[in-house]
Structure 1
Amino acid sequence: MVRGTDGDRHRRSPRDRRACARSLAERGATVVAGDVADCDAVVADATDLPGTIRAIDADVREPADLDRLVAEATERGDGSLDVLVNNAGVIAREPIDDLAPEQWDEVIETNLTGAYNAISAATPALRASSGAIVTISSLLSHVGYRDRAAYSASKGGLDAMTRALAAELGPDGVRVNAVNPDFIRTEMTRTHLDEGREDAFREKTAIDRLGDPEDVAAVVAFLASDRAAFVSGETILVDGGQAALG
């Protein structure tokens, strides 16, 4: 589930929103995606897939919306829910002296509390199906970037919650993992590309290219599948080897 607003210049792009949903539908999944804007973009060009994608209006900050989304997914899944993907994200790029309380609240409420809301709504159904939770975190939960205090705090919280829930829900057969990308070509990173900094970010990777949403979606699909049946409590970097370079 992805949260974005037309007024937020750092919201995720339609391509980013589609990537995870499409990757799962390509593998035959019945996908219900929640968003607060541009829902049609999530299902665009999806008619040729083995699975199906349906998008409905939902805001991860609103628990009632998440309850409705889970009910819709469960109904379309013949009474079961196998996978929850938390993919809501906004960012505030401000030094701490300029970071307004409402900016901090917006980032934490969307990125961290939004994931809690989704997990809380979905856990009963996931327990029943021995399902999986996959959360999109960030390399910034591992390393420090200046002017990213709120975003880093939210992503660090997601990693900690992932480990705690893996221990808590494991006895019920529910696997919980996180995917930690670095610089991926999305609406959220467009500002840097517009400023001509693509080469600088590319040179930070070991494989000499920027990541695409499909790179992240492929790892999400793996963690959602039975091929990852013995993987839980992990935070998996998808950063082109940046962390390896130090």
Structure 2
Amino acid sequence: MELTGKIALITGATGGIGGAAARLLAARGAHVVASGRDRQRGAALVKEIAESGGTARFLAADLGDVESLHHLAAAAGEVDVLVNNAALFPVAPTTEQEAADLDEAFGANVRAPYLLTAALVPAMVAKGAGSIINVSTMAASVGMPGLSAYSATKGALEALTRTWAAEFSPAGVRVNTVSPGPTRTDMVMLTMGEEGAAQVAGTTLLKRLAAPEEIAEVIAFLASDRSGFMTGATVAVDAGRTAI
């Protein structure tokens, strides 16, 4: 299995894209360190992975809390793969966006991956190998009403991908972004509803929502040596939405 012997930390791993990535990376041999806020769902994920023949452990963390981030990095230890997936998804017109919600979104979506990467990348650099995968969104490239805060945080994350690639890739650490289109996750369905999600899906070339597992396949590719010549890239997994 292509990820055997690798340790992968995945944030936001208790559902949606993060959960699908955790299952897939474990199935391909990685020891998964799954992080999230819900201990019960985390325990269920670890049990499911173990029953499928993989290995995983769960670390509870609140990515909006700096001290919790430091504890997560210390508890995770040295990792080979970091998937910065966890995110908040605020939806509001710009003129109605609460400042507190804006700050919270930037804390979870930008500051958290920034601090986790800063804490974990030195060990990757010392080994001369590693893969950091940031999960963005097509809304960072396509203007979508109501997603100003969310798209701004993800645009910042994509900029960090390029900067981190410039900083760390000469030492062997690859940094890439996966940019999903509309995906059937609990967060999307709760926020947008079936009708709203269907409308967004209708703007893509394939006219449907992605399954989280389809996004996870691209994450697994970027985690593996099969993508060994890729760094600083943003990979659109959006059914062609940003191509038209």
Q: What interval of TM-score do these two structures reach, taking the shorter chain for normalisation?
A: 0.7 to 0.9
2: CA distance, partners of 1:160 / 1:202: 26
Farther-moved stretch of structure 1 (50-59 vs 179-188): 50-59
Contact 1:66 1:121 in 2 (8 A): no
| 1:77-102 CA distance string (max 9 Å, x none) | xxx42111101111111111111110
Matched residues, percent identical?
A: 38
1: CA distance, partners of 2:190 / 2:79: 37
Name 1:77's counterpart in structure 2.
Answer: none
Q: Which structure 1 segments of 5+ residues have no match?
A: 4-11, 75-79
Name 2:210's counterpart in structure 1.
Answer: 211
1: CA distance, partners of 2:206 / 2:96: 35
Note if 1:108 corresponds to 2:109: no
Note if 1:40 corresponds to 2:43: yes
1: CA distance, partners of 2:47 / 2:240: 32
Instruction: Supply the AA of the counterpart residue of 1:125.
Output: A
Query: What is the DSSP-based 3-state SS (H/G/I as helix, E as strand, rest coil) of the residue aligned with 1:46?
Result: helix
Name 2:151's counterpart in structure 1.
Answer: 152
Name 1:165's counterpart in structure 2.
Answer: 164
Change beyond 3 A, Cα 1:214–1:182: same
2: CA distance, partners of 1:120 / 1:220: 20
Change beyond 3 A, Cα 1:63–1:124: farther
Change beyond 3 A, Cα 1:50–1:128: farther
Name 1:20's counterpart in structure 2.
Answer: 21
1:73-92 matches, cutoff 5 A: 73-74=76-77, 80-92=78-90
Farther-moved stretch of structure 1 (37-46 vs 163-172): 37-46
1: CA distance, partners of 2:212 / 2:32: 17
Query: What is the DSSP-based 3-state SS (H/G/I as helix, E as strand, rest coil) of the residue aligned with 1:155?
Result: helix
Query: What is the DSSP-based 3-state SS (H/G/I as helix, E as strand, rest coil) of the residue aligned with 1:207?
Result: coil
User: Displacement, 1:243?
Assistant: 1.8
2: CA distance, partners of 1:193 / 1:144: 16
Contact 1:2 1:17 in 2 (8 A): yes
Note if 1:138 corresponds to 2:147: no
User: Displacement, 1:65?
Assistant: 2.9
Q: Which structure 2 segments of 5+ residues have no match?
A: 1-9
Q: Runs of 4+ in structure 1 displaced over 6 angstroms?
A: none
1: CA distance, partners of 2:82 / 2:67: 16
- CA-based RMSD: 2.0
User: Displacement, 1:193?
Assistant: 6.2
User: Displacement, 1:158?
Assistant: 0.3
User: Displacement, 1:137?
Assistant: 0.7
2: CA distance, partners of 1:21 / 1:107: 23
- TM-score of the aligned structures, taking structure 1 as reference length: 0.87
Instruction: Supply the AA of the counterpart residue of 1:110.
Output: A
Q: 1:93 aligns with which of 86, 91, 94?
A: 91
Change beyond 3 A, Cα 1:213–1:121: same
Contact 1:18 1:41 in 2 (8 A): no
Instruction: Supply the AA of the counterpart residue of 1:35.
Output: G
User: Displacement, 1:194?
Assistant: 3.5
Instruction: Supply the AA of the counterpart residue of 1:224.
Output: A
User: Displacement, 1:55?
Assistant: 0.8
Contact 1:134 1:223 in 2 (8 A): yes
Contact 1:27 1:50 in 2 (8 A): no
Instruction: Supply the AA of the counterpart residue of 1:184.
Output: T
Change beyond 3 A, Cα 1:49–1:237: same
Change beyond 3 A, Cα 1:195–1:220: closer
Instruction: Supply the AA of the counterpart residue of 2:147.
Output: R
Contact 1:28 1:49 in 2 (8 A): no
Change beyond 3 A, Cα 1:142–1:198: closer
Query: What is the DSSP-based 3-state SS (H/G/I as helix, E as strand, rest coil) of the residue aligned with 1:97?
Result: helix
Q: Give the number of aligned pairs.
A: 232
